[in-house]
C-alpha cells in the first residue's frame, strides 16, 4: 500500500468514526426525549499481543454485525448499519453479506432495519427493503444523494435518522 493509499484509508476511517459519533448524538437525543434507546454495538475482538504504553495488537473474532441496535418507543426493535462517503455515490456492496443477513432477518421479523448513510454533507436513513432491492429500484447497485431525497433525514443534535426531512 502506498503512502497516499494509506493516508486515504486513515482519512476514510476517520470520517466513518465521526459519522458514527453524529449518530450517537442523535441516539442520546432520542433517549432523552423518550423516543428510543439505541446504542452502538462494538465488534468483538481478542488481544493477540500486548505492546508498550497500553497499546495492543488485536484481531476481530467474527464478521461484523450492523453498527447500531435498540428499541423504539412502543417496543419495536431497530437495527441499522452506518456508512459514510466523501464520494458522490454509495455502493450497495459496502454492507457485508453478514450485515445484510442480520438486517434481512430483523426486517422480516418486523423490526425497523436499514442503512444510515452520509454522502458528503447529506444524510439518509434507507429502509432495508429499499437498500436490498437497490438494483430493481434505482437501476444500479449504487445510489447518489439526489436519488434519495425521500429518505433524507434532519441534521440537528446529530444525524437524526428517525426524522425524515420532508415528512
Q: Which residues touch 33 (CB under 8 Å, ≥6 apart)?
A: none
Between the alpha carbon of residue 41 and those of residues 17, 68, 110, the distances in Å are 13, 6, 20
Q: Count of domains in the chain?
A: 1
Contact between residue 66 and residue 111 where contact means Cβ atoms under 8 Å apart: no
Query: Cβ-count burial of 164 within 10 angstroms (0-12 exposed, 13-18 middle, 19+ buried)?
Result: middle
* Dist. CA 36–CA 33, nearest whole Å: 8
Query: Cβ-count burial of 161 within 10 angstroms (0-12 exposed, 13-18 middle, 19+ buried)?
Result: buried
| CA 24 to centroid of chain Cα atoms | 11
Residue 89: give the domain boundaries.
Answer: 3-164
Please report, in angstroms and rounded to a whole number, the separation of the first and last CA atoms in the chain: 45
Give the CATH number of the domain where residue 82 resides.
Answer: 3.40.1350.10
| DSSP per-residue letters across 88-106 | SEEEGGGS-HHHHHHHHHH
pTM of whole model > 0.75? yes
Taking only the tens of pLDDT, the chain with its 167 residues reads 566 555 455 555 667 889 999 999 999 999 999 999 999 998 755 566 777 777 766 655 556 889 999 999 999 999 999 999 999 999 999 999 999 999 999 999 999 999 999 999 999 999 999 999 999 999 999 999 999 999 999 999 899 999 999 87
Amino acid at each position: 500500500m502506498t503512502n497516499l493509499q494509506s493516508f486515504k484509508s486513515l482519512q476514510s476511517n476517520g470520517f466513518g468514526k465521526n459519522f458514527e459519533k453524529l449518530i450517537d448524538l442523535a441516539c442520546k437525543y432520542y433517549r432523552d426525549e423518550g423516543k428510543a434507546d439505541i446504542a452502538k454495538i462494538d465488534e468483538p475482538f481478542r488481544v493477540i499481543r500486548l505492546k508498550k504504553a497500553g497499546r495492543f495488537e488485536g484481531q476481530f473474532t467474527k464478521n461484523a454485525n450492523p453498527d447500531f441496535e435498540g428499541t423504539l418507543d412502543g417496543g419495536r426493535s431497530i437495527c441499522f448499519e452506518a456508512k459514510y462517503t466523501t464520494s458522490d455515490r454509495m455502493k450497495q456492496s459496502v454492507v457485508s453479506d453478514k450485515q445484510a443477513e442480520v438486517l434481512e432477518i430483523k426486517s422480516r421479523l418486523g423490526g425497523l432495519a436499514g442503512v444510515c448513510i452520509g454522502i458528503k454533507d447529506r444524510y439518509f436513513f434507507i429502509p432495508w427493503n429499499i437498500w436490498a432491492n437497490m438494483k430493481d429500484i434505482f437501476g444500479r447497485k449504487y445510489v447518489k444523494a439526489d436519488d434519495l431525497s425521500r429518505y433524507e433525514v434532519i441534521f440537528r443534535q446529530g444525524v437524526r435518522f428517525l426524522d425524515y426531512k420532508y415528512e
